[in-house]
Structure 1
Amino acid sequence: MPDGTLIHTPIHAPLACCDEEPGLLPVAEARARLLHGALPVAGEEVLAPTAALGRLLAAAPRSARSLPPFDQSAMDGYALHAADLAAGATDLAAGAAPLVLRRIAAGDPPGPAIGPGEAVRVLTGAPVPPGAAAVVMEEHVALREGRVEPRRPPRPGTNIRRRGEDLAEGDLLLAPGTRLDARHLALLAAADIDQVAVRRRVRVALLSNGNELGAAIRDSNRPMLAALLARPEIALTDLGVLPDDPAALAAALAEAARGHDLILASGGISGSDADHLPGALRAAGGEVEVLKLAQKPGKPLAHGRLGAARCLFLPGNPLAALVGFLTLGRPLLARLAGAAEGAGPAPVAALAARGFARKPGREEFLPARVIGQDASGLPLVEPAGLFGSARLVPLAAADGLLWVPADIAQVRPGDALRFHPFAAGFGLA
């Protein structure tokens, strides 16, 4: 099959996993079709690391220095020579205790080498002098007449961070596709990297479709999707609300395809005589495949291509549009942006706080809230309100989406479930 060719499956072909109605496509298969032939966008930018926060690396930077850059003390204490480590605490206390020559603080030069019977006071992060074999913690010594008497002499290498033990000059720091966050900026700064190559932004055109969107019914999907697309690696163009006019839709799609990598739309795909987006894409010269997914909400979906631009058309109901974007749109954007495989947020293990019944046949995403934790710390979750793909109040009250497998008809209290929290990143709460 040529790279990028859309895969067509007759929608009447039954799938064994989906008994709600024949022809429903598992979400994993839909994702594979959507990602087939999708490649990272071409082009890159060279930026200072602080300006590249949240961007995706196009090339692997190499360290410009070793870390640590010199042998340094990991503790406040006393640097000792190897000969004095071999002597026992009793021998040292009997008159052979090393003499403290000087003090070295962080930022000071290491000074001359020490020999047997000599010690140097060193502070955390300070360079250890040549000849030092270990640093004994200050809590483990007694000082008498300028001599240091270890209560328990350390083993060789104790409390010394050797030059390059964390990172050697020239080592690869981060893999291409890494999304730069606070950790990476710290590493790049320590490694003396002042420029990084990042992939260019993915250009996304966003629109809503439907004559009903106006004074009576407000468009909630575009603000929601625009917020989800407000990411450093995305350049967003808002095309607004387009009416149910096949010719106008085809012209708008053709214009958007000339300057964008992805056209993302919601509405106009459910199959009624007022749903024109798939036909408009064909009329504009594109390819399109309309799918029915074994997913609730978000069964209808269409995807295709117009010129070099990918197209993804989501359902019109808000929760369905959200779920479709998270399960399919986000992986597609990650592929276009050049993100490392599997770099997306992972679900967490959770337990059902209460039982509820559901109709099996489609895997389901329910707005859910966390109401506590069990004895082992697992979150206890329950649906956030009455289910409905057009309901926004339960979604706003939820802490995340609860995933229920397609074959489950009854969820019982204490059942293990998969939970996708809306909060992510470095939060510890």
Structure 2
Amino acid sequence: MPDGTLIQAPISCCDDEPGLLPVVEARARLLRGATPVPEEEALPLAAALGRVLATVPRSGRSLPPFDQSAMDGYALHAADLVPGAAPRILRRIAAGDPPGPAIGPGEAVRVLTGAPVPPGAAAVVMEEHVVLRGGTVAPRRLPRPGANIRRLGEDLAAGDVLLPPGTRLDARHLALLAAAGVGHVPVRRRVRVALLSNGNELGVAIQDSNRPMLAALLARPELALTDLGVLPDDPAALTAALGEAARTHDLILASGGVSGSDADHLPGALHRAGGEVEVLKLAQKPGKPLAHGRLGSARCLFLPGNPLAALVGFLTLGRPLLARLSGSAEETGPAPLAALAARGFLRRPGREEFLPARLVGQDAASGLPLVEPSGAFGSARLVPLAAADGLLWVPAATEQVRPGDALRFHPFAASFGLA
């Protein structure tokens, strides 16, 4: 069982701030009016991995395309599916061979896996279940009618819908499309994303870690990224850059410049460029400050400057927005795993929280993974994040997590696709 160690988290005076917006409401505001990019293109299957289906592809053939043997064995006529039958073996059919003429009572054909079964075959008996004597085959275990035969079209009929629009194509889908005779697949064009960091301190007193992190998260087949670099705290320069980016991009994603100080100019720059902007304070930790809006047809999402806050904001809000823009059906993402707390800790209630956490074992009684925070708390700390296996979600009302408490855990590789 988990031990009784208690970790004391730093208590923020702002966690009980009134008027904080629940993350689910912020997501609804962000997605309101957002629609998939309208253009589409037809790609060969070799270029379609990770792209999002725009329209319904239909099968060009039936699967299987003919009655075929499911295993190595002998095709039998219905009259020989009785005790004591010993039909004569006529020939052998391998995969790729024609089925040949029909068989009748007292006749059998040796068939290999994937081979067409001859007309008149009622079942295939496995080769392990027969005795061969002088050119005849005697089943030791009689198959049922239809056994070990894959019937024409039992998996898919010609003209059937293969996949719904919004499917993000992976290896399974490409296999199905190829088998169904689809050479080119209709997908939405890539979502064009402009990425920037904002702050005079970046590259001088502090190295910019957010842009490389977010660029890695945006390295997906359905997205096309433009790196605008680091922009200074200059209202005029920010206004010009946002206006220019909005003309050729679907989303402008930025970090820094949204916490509300007199040095934070991104929301004002978006307004001066002629856009709409809303500054939010979220009931989320880390990542309370956030701004979003639009400029022309481009959506804008401005994340906090601290690395963990930027990551959490992107995963909880940026990913759903990008899914909507790309036409993907994956807006909610994979469900978190059930887990148990390996150690306890205290926290101030008021905001739902995401903590970098690591897997430290498995509970013997339940079989659930045991997780614990991977280091000291803090939205600017990168070492605990790099040491983590995922993010631990803690409900807003929770004041204390005790050893053995049920938790929700988002593994980076499974839940957020970081690996």
TM range (shorter): over 0.9
Unmatched segments (≥5 aa) in structure 2: 1-13
* Deviation per residue, 1:180-237 (Å, 9 max, x gap): 1111111111111110111011111111111111232101100000110111111111
| Partner in structure 1 of residue 114 of structure 2 | 125
Q: Does 1:385 align with 2:375?
A: yes
| Partner in structure 2 of residue 421 of structure 1 | 411
| Partner in structure 2 of residue 280 of structure 1 | 269
Q: For residues 343 and 198 of structure 1, do their structure 2 counterparts lie closer, same or farther at Cα, with a shift above 3 Å needed?
A: farther
* Deviation per residue, 1:157-199 (Å, 9 max, x gap): 0000001000111111111111111111111111111101110
Distance 1:122 1:343 in 2: 48
For the residue of structure 2 that corresponds to 1:66, the secondary structure is coil
Q: Does 1:38 align with 2:28?
A: no
Distance 1:403 1:385 in 2: 15
Distance 2:156 2:370 in 1: 42
Letter in 2 for 1:49: L
Query: Does structure 1 conserve the Cα–Cα contact (< 8 Å) formed by 2:324 and 2:331?
Result: no
In the TM superposition, what is the alpha-carbon distance from 1:270 to its structure 2 partner? 0.5
In the TM superposition, what is the alpha-carbon distance from 1:345 to its structure 2 partner? 2.8
Distance 2:336 2:409 in 1: 5
1:351 to 308, 327, 340: 340
Distance 2:237 2:94 in 1: 72
| Partner in structure 1 of residue 6 of structure 2 | none
Q: Does 1:224 align with 2:213?
A: yes
1:75 to 67, 71, 74: 71
For the residue of structure 1 that corresponds to 2:414, the secondary structure is coil
TM-score (norm 2): 0.94
TM-score (norm 1): 0.92
Query: Does structure 1 conserve the Cα–Cα contact (< 8 Å) formed by 2:71 and 2:114?
Result: yes
* Deviation per residue, 1:360-396 (Å, 9 max, x gap): 1110000001112223442211100001000000000
| Partner in structure 2 of residue 212 of structure 1 | 201
Distance 2:63 2:285 in 1: 51
Distance 1:222 1:318 in 2: 9
| Partner in structure 2 of residue 105 of structure 1 | 94
2:255 to 260, 263, 266: 266
Q: Which moved more, 1:373-382 or 1:182-191?
A: 373-382
| Partner in structure 2 of residue 404 of structure 1 | 394
Letter in 2 for 1:154: P
Root-mean-square deviation (Å): 1.6
In the TM superposition, what is the alpha-carbon distance from 1:330 to its structure 2 partner? 0.5
Distance 1:140 1:54 in 2: 45
Distance 1:146 1:132 in 2: 18
Q: Which moved more, 1:207-216 or 1:314-323?
A: 207-216
* Deviation per residue, 1:71-97 (Å, 9 max, x gap): 011111111101111x2x2x32xxxx1
Letter in 2 for 1:395: L
| Partner in structure 2 of residue 56 of structure 1 | 52
Letter in 2 for 1:415: D
| Partner in structure 1 of residue 304 of structure 2 | 315
* Deviation per residue, 1:120-150 (Å, 9 max, x gap): 1111111100000001111111111111111
| Partner in structure 2 of residue 4 of structure 1 | none
For the residue of structure 2 that corresponds to 1:56, the secondary structure is coil
Matches within 5 A, 1:286-365: 286-342=275-331, 344-365=333-354
| Partner in structure 2 of residue 5 of structure 1 | none
Distance 2:199 2:23 in 1: 26
Unmatched segments (≥5 aa) in structure 1: 1-17
Distance 2:184 2:265 in 1: 47
Q: For residues 61 and 346 of structure 1, do their structure 2 counterparts lie closer, same or farther at Cα, with a shift above 3 Å needed?
A: same
* Deviation per residue, 1:235-288 (Å, 9 max, x gap): 111111111111111111111111111111110110111111111111111111
For the residue of structure 2 that corresponds to 1:285, the secondary structure is coil
* Deviation per residue, 1:322-367 (Å, 9 max, x gap): 0000000000000000001556233211111111111111100000
Matches within 5 A, 1:240-251: 240-251=229-240
Q: Does 1 or 2 have the higher relative contact order (CA < 8 Å, sep 6+)?
A: 2
Distance 2:75 2:305 in 1: 70
1:370 to 336, 343, 359: 359
For the residue of structure 2 that corresponds to 1:424, the secondary structure is helix
Letter in 2 for 1:46: A
User: Runs of 4+ in structure 1 displaced over 6 angstroms?
Assistant: none
